[in-house]
Amino acid sequence: MTTLDELQSEVTAEAFVSLVRRVGREIVMPRFRNLDASEIDTKADAPDLVTIADREAEVALAEGARSILPGCAVVGEEAVADDPDLLSNVATAETCVVIDPVDGTFNFARGVAVFGIILAVVHKGQTVFGLLYDPVMDDWAIARRGQGAEFVDAQGRRRRLATRSCAGLAEAEGTVPLDLATGPRRIETLRAVADVRAARSLRCSCHEYRMLAMGQADFSVNASVKVWDHAAGVLLLQEAGGHVELADGSPYAPTRRGGWIFAAGSQALAADLRALDWPESGS
């Protein structure tokens, strides 16, 4: 049985970093701007894309995770798309590795260099390790519960991460899922953020959380609480001094499934965002 100390050790962290860098280098980047139309497919709807890189990367990441943490459960976005029952492992397994093999697949498939690999380790229902990797720049943001958050570049240079302070909604800049809402829900979403300074969408949770933790944005709002999008990023943001809560005001947990999620550089800003008039979540 792997202990919590082993899950959060520097050796384990380095092993996961080595794994995502190898998968990014050998599987993901060779496909970037080099995909044949036959290598791109859709899932739930037309904008929800999956590519050969997603599928091959997830297999390699899952194999690597099981080698690093023998006996762990693995929950990957693409595996869950094929077998939704696998999602229960997040709550029932003692240790579960959660994988988003190419977060921002829409961008990746369109040749836009805003995507990443996200990996989280959940222990007894709590995220204890998070890694958000950018294969394009070969750098990563990493967090271990109770040990702070760091940014590491390709040369191995490290710096501690901290969120920035924001006076209130009128000064706040962040991301909202505008392109994922349609019809009246898009109008309602736009109306909800009418008073913030700037609201954008990157279509990439990896970089949205990295921006928050690095003090380059003030908030990120999402209408979907998919564990592979949020488990690692929430831990990263919290360890950098930020705050995350759900629509009912409760704290985020990787076992939660539906509803809006409000991530911000401070608890006050998260509460102000939650108090806005959002449409019903579609998840």
Tell me: pLDDT of 151 over 80: yes
The pLDDT tens digits for 231-272 are 999 999 999 999 999 999 999 999 998 889 999 999 999 999
pLDDT grade, residue 81 (50/70/90)? Answer: very high
Closest CA to 163 of 240, 55, 97: 240
Helix (H, G, I), strand (E, B) or coil at 196: coil
Taking the domains of the chain in order of start, what are their residue ranges? 4-160, 169-274
**Alpha-helix runs per DSSP H in 33-116:** 52-68, 77-82, 89-92, 105-109
- Greatest Cα pair distance in the chain: 51
Domain 169-274: give its CATH code. Answer: 3.40.190.80
Q: What percent of the chain has pLDDT over 90?
A: 86
Tell me: pLDDT of 38 over 90: yes
Residue entry with tokens 């988003």: 100
C-alpha angle with apex 94: 89 to 96, nearest 5 degrees? 50
The pLDDT, as a whole number, for residue 45 is: 60
pTM for the model: 0.96
Rounded Cα gap, residues 13 and 144, in angstroms: 9
Same fold, 4-160 and 169-274: no
The pLDDT tens digits for 6-31 are 888 999 999 999 999 999 999 999 99
Domain 4-160: give its CATH code. Answer: 3.30.540.10
The pLDDT tens digits for 164-217 are 989 899 999 999 988 767 788 888 998 999 999 999 989 999 999 999 999 999
The pLDDT, as a whole number, for residue 179 is: 75
Rounded Cα gap, residues 199 and 56, in angstroms: 34
Query: Residue 238 has what DSSP assignment?
Result: H
